[in-house]
Amino acid sequence: MSCLDNPLLQVGVYGSKFLQTLTTKLTEDGKYFDIRIKNRVNKMVTDLESLLFLRNLVVSSRRHVIVETGSHLGIGTAVLYEAMSSTPSFSTESHRLLTVEKDRRRKRDIIAHLKIVGADDSEVQIVFSDSTKIDWKRHLGDLKVDLVFLDCYGRYEAYLRIEPYLSEKAIVVVHDWFLWDFATDFETSVRNGILVGPIVIATSRGLGVYQKAHKQVAMYETK
């Protein structure tokens, strides 16, 4: 069953102003149909259920610095930007979104999709590089990453590259959880006490969600 055939998800999808605009826009220029087909054939564009989950995660957890590895057409990038910029404390000084894509030919599509959410490439940093080899110090400086959405080839290698730059309560989201055995890759970081998880979100292609391990703060005095 596709996301749009599911009444519960329809409420979510159409209840969100942005996803409504996005799906309307994509339907108008005929691309939305392609995306649905692609979701089943070449699986390049993130499925709508995963986009919806990501959007809600970013809004509810109020992430400030977000990284996506693997931009493709910039659909996920646009959703992440819209979510980040709709949090009450959003400002271009305190919030950053970086997306990494190794294929420079994607630039036009990424910019076109960012335009739908009112952003341009001065608000979102599009980095053309290999996420498994990127020099994050150069792009992040002293910034720490609050959420990373891993959607490129070599997701664990891309994760290892960014691991030293994760903030204390960073969230790591791995797309296409049901398509490959990412759990085995990430097990090393869990065993080493760096990540906790995963929580698996049953979107059509699956999301694996980890959190950076950190000391729990007691909410109540025990005496």
Among 152, 166, 173, 209, binds ligand SAM (CB under 6 A): 152
Q: Which is nearer to ligand SAM, 107 or 213 (CB)?
A: 107
Of the listed pieces 21-29, 86-94, 95-103, 192-200, which binds ligand SAM according to CB under 6 A?
95-103
168 near ligand SAM, rule: CB under 6 A: no
Residue nearest ligand SAM, Cβ-based: 76
Residue 146 — φ and ψ, nearest 5°?
A: -90, -25
Of 160 and 213, which has the nearer Cβ to ligand SAM? 160
* Cα distance between residue 75 and residue 68, in whole Å: 11
Burial of 127 (0-12, 13-18, 19+ CB in 10 A): middle
Choosing from 61, 115, 123, 154, the residue that interacts with ligand SAM (CB under 6 A) is 154
109 binds ligand SAM (CB under 6 A): no
Shortest CB 36 distance to ligand SAM, Å:
13
How far apart CA 40 and CA 5 sit, in angstroms, is 15
- Provide the minimum distance between the beta carbon of 193 and ligand SAM in the complex, in angstroms, as a whole number: 26
Continuous H helices in the chain: 7-15, 17-28, 31-40, 48-61, 75-85, 107-116, 136-140, 155-162, 182-191
Q: Which residue from 14, 90, 153, 178 is in contact with ligand SAM, where contact means CB under 6 A?
A: 153
Whether the CA torsion 185, 188, 193, 194 is positive or negative: it is: negative
DSSP β-ladder status, 65-69 and 145-150: parallel
Is residue 85 at the binding interface for ligand SAM, with CB under 6 A as the rule? Answer: no
Whether the link from the prior residue into 88 is cis, omega within 30° of 0, is no
Residues whose CB is less than 8 angstroms from the CB of residue 109 and which lie 6 or more positions away in sequence, other chains included? 72, 73, 74
Please tell me whether residue 173 binds ligand SAM under the rule CB under 6 A: no
- Between 45 and 172, whose beta carbon lies closer to ligand SAM? 45
- Among positions 132, 150, 186, 212, the unique one binding ligand SAM when judged by CB under 6 A: 132
Radius of gyration of the chain (CA): 17
Cα 62 from Cα 95, distance rounded (Å): 10
Nearer to ligand SAM, 71 or 189 (CB): 71
Output the six-digit token pair for 200. Answer: 């698996």
Among 16, 39, 46, 203, binds ligand SAM (CB under 6 A): 46
In the complex, the smallest distance separating the C-beta of residue 129 from ligand SAM, rounded to whole angstroms, is: 7
Binding footprint of ligand SAM on the chain (CB under 6 A) = 44-46, 68-73, 75-76, 100-103, 106, 130-132, 151-154
